[in-house]
Structure 1
Amino acid sequence: MNRRENNSQNLSYPLELPCGAILKNRIIKSAMSDSLADGEGDPTEAQIRLYERWAEGGAALSIIGEVQGDPRFPEKPGNLVLGKNSDLVKLSSLARRASIEKAHIWPQIGHGGALSYPLISQPKGPSALNLGGLQCAGMSVSDIKKLPDFYIKAAELAKEAGFTGVQVHAGHGFLLSQFLSPLFNRRSDQYGGSIEARCRIVVEIINKIRDVVGPSFPIGIKINSSDQLEGGLTQEDSLEALRILDKTSVDLIEFSGGTYFPGAASSSDSSSEGPYFVDFCQKAQLVTSVPLVATGGFKKRADALDALASGSVDIVGIARAMILNPSLANDWLTNRAGDPVFPRFESPPPGGITAWYTMLLTALGTDDEKSFSLDLTSAIQQYEERDEQRCEKWRRRFRV
C-alpha cells in the first residue's frame, strides 16, 4: 500500500520506513536534551531507565537528544558521546533496555557549533560571528571536510551498540542547522550562498553514514521548517532543502522550528494552541515521498489523530507531554486515559521552564516523579549546579 493511501487515521497503524524498518505505531518520543549522561559522555542508570520507561509506555521510537560525535563541541556536559572513549557496555545496556516491546531507539547525532557550551568548548560555526550574545570562530574548509568522520564513527558505534537507527541533528540552531541558515552561514565557497551549497555538508554526511551502516539501518534527520528569526532559514528555503534531501537515502524527516539564539524565544516555550508545524508538513508532502514527522504542540490525542487523518504527517512527535506522562503513547493508543495537564508558570525566569522539565526527566529516570516538587528557581539552581560539577569531569575526560 502506498503510505499516503491510508495515513493511518489510527495511531496504532504501523509505518514502514524506506529502508524496510517498521515503526509499530504513529507516536514517537522526540529528542530532548535529557542531560542525564555522567559528565564523561557515558549513560547513567537513570538515563537508561528513562528510555526504558518510554519503551514500556508504548512509544514506537524514542530519540536521545544531543548525542555528540565530537566531544570538543557539546551542547551541555550531560550529553552522551559516541566516540573512541565511549563505554560500549553501558551504551549496549541503554540500547537493549530502550528497545523492548519492539520499540526503536535512535541517538540524535549532533555538534553544537556556534552554540557549543562555552565552559567546555571553544565554539566554532560555519562563519565567525559576533551577534548579540553569540560569538564563535569560523570553520576552515579543512574543518568542514573532517566533519563527516565524526558522524560516521558515531553512527558505526551506535549500530555496534545495538541502537536501531540514528537521527542527524540539523535543527534548532546547532551546527548543521547553522550551515542551512543564511543568518549563521555567511560563507562564499562551496558550503555557502545558495541553499544547494548550504545543504552540501548535510548531504555528504547522510551519504557517508549510509555507506557504513548499510541499506537497512534507519537514518533520520531533524530540520527546521524555519528559524523563526529575521535573516534566518525561511520556509521556502526549507522546502528546497527537502527537495534535496528527497534524493538521499534518508528514512524519516522530522520538522520542528525555531533556533536557540541568545535572547530569542524557543518554539517549545510558545503559548500557541495546537500543533505548530502540521501546516508546513502539508506543503512538504508535495515535494518528498519520505515519511514526515511534525514535532511541537501535540498536547491532545485529538490533535494527533487530526494531523494523521489530514495526511499532513505520517507520524507525530511528542516531547514534553511524554515527560508529564511517560505512558502517554499507550494511553493514546487505547484511548483509556485523558490528555496530560500541563503546568502553568507565572512570569518564568529565562531557562526556568526548560530546567524544570529537565529535572522532572531526572525524577522519571529514578522512578521518583510522584515526589517531584521543585519550583522553577530551585530547578534552575539544581540544573546549573549539576552542569557545573559535570564540566570538571568533562574537562578531565576529554582534555578540553
Structure 2
Amino acid sequence: MIKAEDSAPFLSRPLELPCGAVLKNRLVKSAMSDSLADGEGNPTEAQIRLYERWAEGGVALSIIGEVQGDPRFPEKPGNLVLGAHSNLEMLRQLATRASKNGTHIWPQLGHAGALSHSPISQPKGPSALEIGSFQCKGMSITEIKQLPDIYAKAALLAQEAGFTGVQIHAGHGFLLSQFLSPLFNRRNDQYGGSIEARCRIIIEVIDKVRRTVGTAFPIGIKINSTDQLEGGLTEEDALEAIRILNQTSIDLIELSGGTYFPGAKSSSDSSGGGPYFVDFSQRAQEVTSVPLVATGGFKTRAQALSSLASGTVDMLGVARAMVLNTSLANDWLAHASADPVFPRFEAAPPGGITAWYTMRLTALGNDDENNFVLDLPSAIRVYEERDNSRCITWEKAFSHYSP
C-alpha cells in the first residue's frame, strides 16, 4: 500500500486535457447550485466573490452549477443565464476574478427539463410523464433538435466572456440525464430505446459546441453512474454511454450519481464514510481514455490521496467540503492535516441540508461565514423566501423569451 506521504505528489501534479489545456493540480470544486445570481440571470458581487475565494484557495478547476442557456427551463430562479440579454460586463468580472492563480472556471451548461422549477416554468422532458404527483410534458422533435444550438450559443458566450471552458450537465436527473434514463425517456424515435439512441442528443450537443468554440477550448461533461432509481439509468448503460463519449472530443468526464427527482435521496446527503463513485471510475477507466473526475464523498485528505494513488481517478471533485473550507485545496496541497469538520444534522427535513449549504454559500460570498448561525428550519425558510422573491423577478425578465 502506498503511504500518504508518498502519494502526496499525485495531488499537485498538473493534468493536460485532450484539447491541450492544463489543470494545475488534481482538485475540482464540483458544481453546486449556488443560487446567487440576481433573478435576471446575471452574476452578483456575492457570486463573483465566492468563486474568487475558491480561486484564492488553490483549486485547479471551479465549476459554476446550473447555468442556463434557455431561461424557460431553469433549475432555480437564482441560476445564471447565458443569453442575448446577459450582462456581459458582470460575466467578465466573474470569469476574471474566478480565474485567479491559474484557476480554470467553467460554467456548467444545463437545462432542467422535467425538473424545471415549476413556478417559473412548464416542465418538459424527453417524454410526457405522470408518476405519482410528478408530471411533465414531452418535448417535440423540433424542440429536441433546437438543443445543440442552445448549448452552443451559451458556450460561445462563455468563451467570449473569458471563461476557460464549459461543462455539459448530463447528470442528477436534469434534461440530458433524463434522455439517458429509461425512466424518463420512453421515446420510440431516434432519441429513445437503446442506450446509443438515448445518447444521441448528447453527442449532437457536444459536436455542435465543439464546432462553435474550436479545438482548444475545454469541454467537460457530468454524467451519472446510476440514477439510483428503479427503472432509471444502470451502471452497465452508464459504462456504455462513457464508451460512446470516448469517441467524441470531450476533454473531461465527471462521474456522479443520483437525481433530484421528487422523493429521491440525494447522494450528497448520504451518511456513508467514503467516496461514492471511485469503484465505478475504475470500471470506466477500461472503456475510455478521457480523464475522469470522481465526485462525492471526499471528506479527508487521506481519501483523496488514496484514490489518486490507486489510479482509479484522474481528478477529485469536492463540493461541500469546500463550502466548509474555501482554502481546502491549499491546505491539502500543503500537507496540512486538518480536514473539514462536517456538521451533524438530526432528523433533517427534505431539502434542509441542501438549503443549509446553499445559504452558507451566500455567507461565503459576503465574507460573513463567521456569523453564519442558521439551523435547518431557518435555512429552509430563508432559502424559500429568497426563491419566491426571485421568481417574480425572473418572470418579469423572461416572460417574452423565445429561443
TM-score by length of structure 2 reads: 0.97
Matched position secondary structure for 1:232: coil
Sort the Cα spacing of 1:199 and 1:8 in 2 relative to 1 into closer, same or farther, 3 A.
Answer: farther
CA contact (8 A) 1:48 1:93 kept: yes
Q: Which residue of 1 aligns with 2:4?
A: none
Letter in 2 for 1:334: A
CA contact (8 A) 1:223 1:256 kept: yes
Letter in 2 for 1:342: F
Q: Which residue of 2 aligns with 1:30?
A: 30
Determine if the alignment matches structure 1 residue 385 to structure 2 residue 385.
yes
Q: Distance in 2 between matches of 1:115 and 1:323?
A: 25
Letter in 2 for 1:241: A
Deviations 1:220-244 (CA, angstroms, capped at 9, x unpaired)? 0000000011100000000000010
The CA RMSD measured in Å over matched residues stands at: 1.1
How far residue 336 of structure 1 moved from its aligned partner, in angstroms, is 2.0
CA contact (8 A) 1:92 1:161 kept: yes
Q: Which residue of 2 aligns with 1:138?
A: 138
How far residue 358 of structure 1 moved from its aligned partner, in angstroms, is 0.2
Q: Distance in 1 between matches of 2:374 and 2:146?
A: 43
Determine if the alignment matches structure 1 residue 90 to structure 2 residue 90.
yes
Matched position secondary structure for 2:41: coil
Letter in 2 for 1:278: V
Q: Distance in 2 between matches of 1:363 and 1:48?
A: 13
Q: Distance in 1 between matches of 2:134 and 2:64?
A: 26
Q: Distance in 1 between matches of 2:228 and 2:353?
A: 20
How far residue 337 of structure 1 moved from its aligned partner, in angstroms, is 4.1
CA contact (8 A) 1:108 1:167 kept: yes
Determine if the alignment matches structure 1 residue 54 to structure 2 residue 54.
yes
Determine if the alignment matches structure 1 residue 189 to structure 2 residue 189.
yes
Letter in 1 for 2:33: S
Matches within 5 A, 1:280-359: 280-359=280-359
Q: Which residue of 1 aligns with 2:270?
A: 270
Q: Distance in 1 between matches of 2:127 and 2:56?
A: 43
Q: Distance in 2 between matches of 1:171 and 1:131?
A: 20
Runs of at least 4 residues of structure 1 off by over 6 A?
none
Q: Which residue of 1 aligns with 2:170?
A: 170
CA contact (8 A) 1:132 1:262 kept: no
How far residue 261 of structure 1 moved from its aligned partner, in angstroms, is 1.1
CA contact (8 A) 1:226 1:258 kept: yes
Matched position secondary structure for 1:10: helix
Q: Which residue of 1 aligns with 2:104?
A: 104
Determine if the alignment matches structure 1 residue 217 to structure 2 residue 217.
yes
CA contact (8 A) 1:9 1:308 kept: no
How far residue 309 of structure 1 moved from its aligned partner, in angstroms, is 0.7
Matches within 5 A, 1:118-133: 118-133=118-133
Deviations 1:179-235 (CA, angstroms, capped at 9, x unpaired)? 000000000000000000000000000011000100000000000000011100000
How far residue 9 of structure 1 moved from its aligned partner, in angstroms, is 5.3
Q: Distance in 2 between matches of 1:322 and 1:336?
A: 15
Matched position secondary structure for 1:75: coil
Q: Which residue of 2 aligns with 1:3?
A: none
How far residue 134 of structure 1 moved from its aligned partner, in angstroms, is 1.8
Q: Distance in 1 between matches of 2:229 and 2:127?
A: 17
Unaligned runs of 5+ in 1: 1-6
Q: Which residue of 1 aligns with 2:74?
A: 74
CA contact (8 A) 1:114 1:134 kept: no
TM-score by length of structure 1 reads: 0.98
Q: Distance in 2 between matches of 1:83 and 1:297?
A: 34
Q: Which residue of 2 aligns with 1:369?
A: 369
How far residue 8 of structure 1 moved from its aligned partner, in angstroms, is 8.0
Q: Distance in 2 between matches of 1:261 and 1:396?
A: 28
Letter in 1 for 2:194: S
Q: Distance in 2 between matches of 1:353 and 1:294?
A: 22
Sort the Cα spacing of 1:129 and 1:359 in 2 relative to 1 into closer, same or farther, 3 A.
Answer: same
Q: Distance in 1 between matches of 2:14 and 2:135?
A: 45
Letter in 1 for 2:220: G
How far residue 149 of structure 1 moved from its aligned partner, in angstroms, is 1.1
Number of aligned residue pairs: 395
How far residue 132 of structure 1 moved from its aligned partner, in angstroms, is 2.0
How far residue 335 of structure 1 moved from its aligned partner, in angstroms, is 1.3
Q: Distance in 2 between matches of 1:352 and 1:9?
A: 38
Q: What percentage of aligned pairs have identical amino acids?
A: 75
CA contact (8 A) 1:8 1:308 kept: no
Q: Which residue of 2 aligns with 1:19?
A: 19
CA contact (8 A) 1:226 1:238 kept: yes
Q: Distance in 2 between matches of 1:9 and 1:277?
A: 22
Q: Distance in 2 between matches of 1:162 and 1:132?
A: 44
Matched position secondary structure for 1:237: helix
Unaligned runs of 5+ in 2: 1-6
Matched position secondary structure for 1:71: coil
CA contact (8 A) 1:351 1:380 kept: yes
Q: Distance in 1 between matches of 2:84 and 2:232?
A: 35
Sort the Cα spacing of 1:206 and 1:376 in 2 relative to 1 into closer, same or farther, 3 A.
Answer: same
Q: Which residue of 2 aligns with 1:238?
A: 238
Q: Distance in 1 between matches of 2:27 and 2:394?
A: 34
Q: Distance in 2 between matches of 1:311 and 1:135?
A: 42
Matched position secondary structure for 2:244: helix
Q: Which residue of 2 aligns with 1:206?
A: 206
Q: Which residue of 2 aligns with 1:160?
A: 160
Matched position secondary structure for 2:290: coil
CA contact (8 A) 1:182 1:232 kept: yes
Q: Distance in 1 between matches of 2:337 and 2:323?
A: 16
